[in-house]
Structure 1
């Protein structure tokens, strides 16, 4: 691409680039229109000549008069553009011909397709001759077609016109260059002088009042600003020189501060080394905790498999035909299975407790709790376990304190501490429970044992997860997370837990809880109706409907109910059939699983309550959904009782009996209203 350095040349180039496309478009339009008109004129002229010849030659074709047809064709000599012609009869045979003197008499022997054709720069026309709708023949004409010659002529004219326009533009530009380019060249000249000499006092001359004049004015203002900035810069340089002296003095001060900084860095380094040491200790503790977790997983595998081994082993003996056993042995095996199953359930519940606490799913019901009642219940429950090992339990005789706590969880905490005190005690030892208060309205409950005690490092790791009281031998059963659950529960109740231990002497575990004033319960003094009262007592046809999809669970309840001759059991494997049996038989009591095929137990309960005939039937939930939110949801849905699998036969029997008593009381009240 050619670079035009001169402003004048650039301006001339712009004018040329504007003029040439405009001329090109104009000339092209004129040429295209003229060529189109030329072509249309030739077509119309040849078509007119053909029609005239056809009309004149119709009698000659009719009477087969070639002479007349030839005379008609001879008239074409008056049309110099037409250089050949011919007339064909109706059969398409050449009847008469004509050729210009300077043209070869080349006439097609046969008739071509009607219409215009182009061949060798000539335009040909075949025009049919009709008379009263009858085809008499065809007229043929051939004329010169000078389209390309005319196009070349126009092209030459266009080039000459473009050159003439450029020449005129050059003349005009030469005349106007002084007016347009002189102000700009003046500014450029001043700019070059300033760049060359550095003299910013020069100014450009303002010529006129147009945009270029404004450019010169702006350029002059820019030079003024530069001149002012230059003076300011010189002043600034002098100020910088003065500041350099001050900076030298400041550098000396910085060197002094650096010395002080080095001392501080040394002190900070010592602190970091100390922090790194603490971090190393924390990492070691984390490593120990991880090892304890691995040991816990190994221990859990052992703890879970141990009761499972007894359950599955004795169950295989009971079901084997090759290992016959007596009735006494069967009873002994069943007791082993029952004991192992309860132990396995306790392990699972302990693990679930920790999981619920860690996830924040534990909901506590904080209320004033009488400590005397809790201690009495714990003593009753722990006495058989202590008696098996000859361990004495010593509880305080008079306890009048009340604490703010969740009754169930407080009982769980104390039972866990007492269980550990008995488990890790020596044969014939003692467990002492004591209660003391402080001035801050805090009650301390302590549990002291006479076991082997713990070392200081064992005490330090005691409340970490997966640690089994430092018992590495695994001689005692347990998950190693009971104390973790205990600690978390105490903290959730707003208390604290601690321990002190002496190797060979024993350990003391204590919990601190806030004391409170008891609030009388509105239900105190109410005595429940005797279980034997009411019309339902003495009936031998109390109907119980059990809706359960698991055959083994269904069989278990059937066996339990079989010992109650007054109960008649109906069963259904799904919720839909259970609804149909309830509507058909109207049982006195319904046992309902929740996870059922088809409709769930909750949906079945809703449908039962929606029908007047079944709305009064008490429904007891018998399910494996044991989470607190599941229990709350079930009670809110309207279940009369909520029993959790695996079935505790005593609890199951108590629920049946209490429901029957409630039904009897209700029937008695309805009978009294009728009288």
Structure 2
């Protein structure tokens, strides 16, 4: 049936079928995602509610106060989805109960084992109440579980969306296909009329500049040639002797032209089919890229909002007068804010890394890197994460090799592979790191885990942009572009990366870099010099003064709190560059902390003023700014900043920068004093 349909009908059918498949796939993914989110939300909410009721009921169970237990359960009236709740004592007997208005609920005679089950549109939860390791009782909750109803609603919505969408696509294609098929249909009509009437003066209209237009031009040329031949035959009617020969020649010429036309039509048809095939492939690739980017943006919205939700939520609790909290709670909330903030910074850095790599803005500093020292650094940074999940980290005892790489980027690659091996590992598993030669002048570093592993088709998509396979293996946080950044960084350093995996066994990731001769370890002495704090350089009786030029009160308050833990330091605040310059001239601080984006006068302009003044040109100035792009850092270093620190503040890095600057000042003062004593003697 499809073969017998017209060209316009075939084109319309293909487009409508493609539109229908795309709509079905998109709607199915949206419905599946929402139902999964609803299931997780209901499960998490009920688990949290049971823990809260268990915590509030522990005193009632301990003192056998049923009235207090019922009063606690009565708070469930604020949760309309909860049908009933009960508290069982440590012996499993019913202690207190609650039934929502209009509900007919029969409570179990005894408490069941801890767990959650779903049946007949209801969620049933048993949660033990434990205080100081002692089982006090069990919380029982029963709530609405509307998974089936939501699925039916989404089916109706999907139908209501698909019908108008298919109708609009049909109307658009009914109009658009005319543009594509009109030139070919014109040639067909002209050819039919010429065959039927024998009028070779007819010409096909040229309406485009593509291959079809060339076909029209060739067809018209053929008609012109045939018309000319026809006139020649008419003029030669008087010459009877030559009439037969001329007719024969004309017929032969027509046959030759027909053959040429058929050949050219065949060639043009093949070219048109090839072009259409390439166009279809390009459209499919563009559609796939758009879908991947749309999925990536949706994932990014979720991933960025998740830590922001924790930051803003706990911050509101800390600042609310209506929600008083104890000091341990404040510390816990602050830890949550700090953890979420660091996670958010990691997400932003991954996105910026990918953007810089895609735009070619990454500048590498290739140098010999000793792998033993590098592995020791990443081991110390990842072992706490592994220990939290009971995962053993196995590193080689000795890796006496060096590679040609960018030290910072190589550390970033190894940390990313190790963090993935820990994140997607099983509890109590292991991560094995190995280094070995893999060929002439090549060194291979491998990271193997004991996680769930990946299928072959998943391994093939590991390093594709915007493809986050972690969503299929568990609710792990992340952007899904870490491995893409890792792969491109390795390639920028002249190396290669690969992976293999076995479902249920684990995964192996490896990188190969160009090996060089082993180098002596210099990290120990450099680190000691960088982290050294000048002992006795200043005591509490003469604290070092630090002038901080910052217009944001929150940032100023943060630095004040950090400085308050250093009795050897004293902070002078300034809200703008003009006041900061005047305070520097009057108080002669030991160090100046300078923000870049300041009102009225920028930090770079203030830096030029300080360097041009003999009273302040000797004071080291440290930039403390959110301008983190490479060109901003280069501009700051060129302006003469002693150090360039990036917000959000890393407290360890901030403290190290202050200490090393004070050490530099002390060394400079000692050298000056030594020269003065020599001149005196």
Give the structure-2-normalised TM-score.
Answer: 0.58
1:152-301 matches, cutoff 5 A? 272=274, 276=277, 284=284, 286-301=286-301
| Residue aligning to 1:369 | 369
| Residue aligning to 1:625 | 627
- CA–CA separation in structure 2 for the residues paired with 1:436 and 1:261: 62
- CA–CA separation in structure 1 for the residues paired with 2:636 and 2:644: 7
| Residue aligning to 1:323 | 323
1:450-529 matches, cutoff 5 A? 450-469=450-469, 471-472=471-472, 475-517=475-517, 528=529
Q: Report the alpha carbon displacement of residue 532 of structure 1 after superposing the two structures with TM.
A: 3.0
Q: Report the alpha carbon displacement of residue 245 of structure 1 after superposing the two structures with TM.
A: 10
Q: Report the alpha carbon displacement of residue 583 of structure 1 after superposing the two structures with TM.
A: 0.9
- Once the two structures are superposed, residues 460-496 of structure 1 have per-residue CA deviations (whole angstroms, 9 ceiling, x without a partner) of 2221222112524760000111111111111211222
Q: Report the alpha carbon displacement of residue 453 of structure 1 after superposing the two structures with TM.
A: 1.7
Structure 1 runs not aligned, ≥5 long? 1-240
Q: Report the alpha carbon displacement of residue 254 of structure 1 after superposing the two structures with TM.
A: 8.9
| Residue aligning to 1:422 | 422
Relative distance call for 1:648 and 1:538 in structure 2 (3 A) is: same
Relative distance call for 1:508 and 1:473 in structure 2 (3 A) is: closer
- CA–CA separation in structure 2 for the residues paired with 1:247 and 1:507: 77
Relative distance call for 1:329 and 1:593 in structure 2 (3 A) is: same
- Once the two structures are superposed, residues 506-563 of structure 1 have per-residue CA deviations (whole angstroms, 9 ceiling, x without a partner) of 2222222122246779999677395334654565232111111111111111222222
- CA–CA separation in structure 2 for the residues paired with 1:522 and 1:434: 22
- CA–CA separation in structure 1 for the residues paired with 2:525 and 2:334: 42
Question: What secondary structure does 1:349 align onto?
Answer: helix
| Residue aligning to 1:653 | 655
| Residue aligning to 2:404 | 404
Indicate if the aligned counterparts of 1:536 and 1:664 stay in contact, CA closer than 8 A.
no
Relative distance call for 1:309 and 1:443 in structure 2 (3 A) is: same
Question: What secondary structure does 1:317 align onto?
Answer: helix
| Residue aligning to 1:443 | 443
- CA–CA separation in structure 2 for the residues paired with 1:435 and 1:261: 63
Q: Report the alpha carbon displacement of residue 639 of structure 1 after superposing the two structures with TM.
A: 0.8
Q: Report the alpha carbon displacement of residue 371 of structure 1 after superposing the two structures with TM.
A: 1.8
Taking only aligned residues, the RMSD between alpha carbons, in angstroms, comes to 3.6
Relative distance call for 1:430 and 1:528 in structure 2 (3 A) is: closer
- CA–CA separation in structure 1 for the residues paired with 2:396 and 2:638: 40
Relative distance call for 1:384 and 1:280 in structure 2 (3 A) is: farther
Indicate if the aligned counterparts of 1:454 and 1:470 stay in contact, CA closer than 8 A.
no
- CA–CA separation in structure 2 for the residues paired with 1:441 and 1:609: 49
Out of 533-542 and 577-586, give the one that drifted further. Answer: 533-542
Indicate if the aligned counterparts of 1:544 and 1:589 stay in contact, CA closer than 8 A.
yes
Question: What secondary structure does 2:661 align onto?
Answer: helix
| Residue aligning to 2:609 | 607
Q: Report the alpha carbon displacement of residue 246 of structure 1 after superposing the two structures with TM.
A: 10
| Residue aligning to 1:336 | 336
Q: Report the alpha carbon displacement of residue 335 of structure 1 after superposing the two structures with TM.
A: 1.0
Relative distance call for 1:250 and 1:610 in structure 2 (3 A) is: same
- CA–CA separation in structure 2 for the residues paired with 1:534 and 1:638: 28
- CA–CA separation in structure 2 for the residues paired with 1:518 and 1:512: 16
- CA–CA separation in structure 2 for the residues paired with 1:327 and 1:474: 34
Relative distance call for 1:396 and 1:512 in structure 2 (3 A) is: same
Question: What secondary structure does 1:501 align onto?
Answer: strand
Q: Are 2:390 and 1:390 equivalent residues in the alignment? A: yes
Relative distance call for 1:427 and 1:287 in structure 2 (3 A) is: farther
- CA–CA separation in structure 2 for the residues paired with 1:473 and 1:507: 13
Q: Report the alpha carbon displacement of residue 372 of structure 1 after superposing the two structures with TM.
A: 1.8
| Residue aligning to 1:540 | 542
Structure 2 runs not aligned, ≥5 long? 1-243
Question: What secondary structure does 1:390 align onto?
Answer: coil
Q: Report the alpha carbon displacement of residue 343 of structure 1 after superposing the two structures with TM.
A: 0.8
Relative distance call for 1:253 and 1:442 in structure 2 (3 A) is: farther
- CA–CA separation in structure 1 for the residues paired with 2:448 and 2:284: 32
Q: Report the alpha carbon displacement of residue 286 of structure 1 after superposing the two structures with TM.
A: 4.5
- CA–CA separation in structure 1 for the residues paired with 2:513 and 2:254: 64
Q: What is the aligned counterpart of 1:637 among 639, 642, 649?
A: 639
Indicate if the aligned counterparts of 2:391 and 2:427 stay in contact, CA closer than 8 A.
yes
Q: Report the alpha carbon displacement of residue 578 of structure 1 after superposing the two structures with TM.
A: 0.9
Relative distance call for 1:615 and 1:562 in structure 2 (3 A) is: same
| Residue aligning to 2:569 | 567
- CA–CA separation in structure 2 for the residues paired with 1:637 and 1:495: 35
Question: What secondary structure does 2:369 align onto?
Answer: strand
Q: Report the alpha carbon displacement of residue 436 of structure 1 after superposing the two structures with TM.
A: 2.9
| Residue aligning to 2:314 | 314
1:67-86 matches, cutoff 5 A? none
- CA–CA separation in structure 2 for the residues paired with 1:247 and 1:391: 91
- CA–CA separation in structure 2 for the residues paired with 1:352 and 1:302: 17
- CA–CA separation in structure 2 for the residues paired with 1:265 and 1:571: 78
Relative distance call for 1:501 and 1:289 in structure 2 (3 A) is: farther
Q: Report the alpha carbon displacement of residue 631 of structure 1 after superposing the two structures with TM.
A: 1.2
- CA–CA separation in structure 1 for the residues paired with 2:398 and 2:421: 22
Question: What secondary structure does 1:471 align onto?
Answer: helix
- CA–CA separation in structure 2 for the residues paired with 1:417 and 1:619: 37
- CA–CA separation in structure 2 for the residues paired with 1:494 and 1:541: 50
- CA–CA separation in structure 2 for the residues paired with 1:264 and 1:589: 79
Q: Report the alpha carbon displacement of residue 313 of structure 1 after superposing the two structures with TM.
A: 1.4
Indicate if the aligned counterparts of 1:592 and 1:621 stay in contact, CA closer than 8 A.
yes
Relative distance call for 1:254 and 1:524 in structure 2 (3 A) is: farther
- CA–CA separation in structure 2 for the residues paired with 1:244 and 1:362: 76
Relative distance call for 1:455 and 1:538 in structure 2 (3 A) is: same
Indicate if the aligned counterparts of 1:602 and 1:637 stay in contact, CA closer than 8 A.
yes
Q: Report the alpha carbon displacement of residue 662 of structure 1 after superposing the two structures with TM.
A: 1.4
Indicate if the aligned counterparts of 1:534 and 1:668 stay in contact, CA closer than 8 A.
no
Indicate if the aligned counterparts of 1:537 and 1:664 stay in contact, CA closer than 8 A.
no
- Once the two structures are superposed, residues 118-164 of structure 1 have per-residue CA deviations (whole angstroms, 9 ceiling, x without a partner) of xxxxxxxxxxxxxxxxxxxxxxxxxxxxxxxxxxxxxxxxxxxxxxx
Question: What secondary structure does 1:594 align onto?
Answer: coil
Indicate if the aligned counterparts of 2:470 and 2:480 stay in contact, CA closer than 8 A.
no
| Residue aligning to 2:182 | none
- CA–CA separation in structure 2 for the residues paired with 1:525 and 1:346: 30
- CA–CA separation in structure 2 for the residues paired with 1:344 and 1:324: 27
Larger Rg: 1
- CA–CA separation in structure 2 for the residues paired with 1:496 and 1:244: 73
Aligned residues: 437
Indicate if the aligned counterparts of 1:540 and 1:565 stay in contact, CA closer than 8 A.
no
Indicate if the aligned counterparts of 1:535 and 1:667 stay in contact, CA closer than 8 A.
no
Out of 478-487 and 387-396, give the one that drifted further. Answer: 387-396
Relative distance call for 1:374 and 1:250 in structure 2 (3 A) is: farther
- CA–CA separation in structure 1 for the residues paired with 2:383 and 2:523: 30
Out of 484-493 and 456-465, give the one that drifted further. Answer: 456-465
| Residue aligning to 1:349 | 349
- CA–CA separation in structure 1 for the residues paired with 2:534 and 2:248: 111
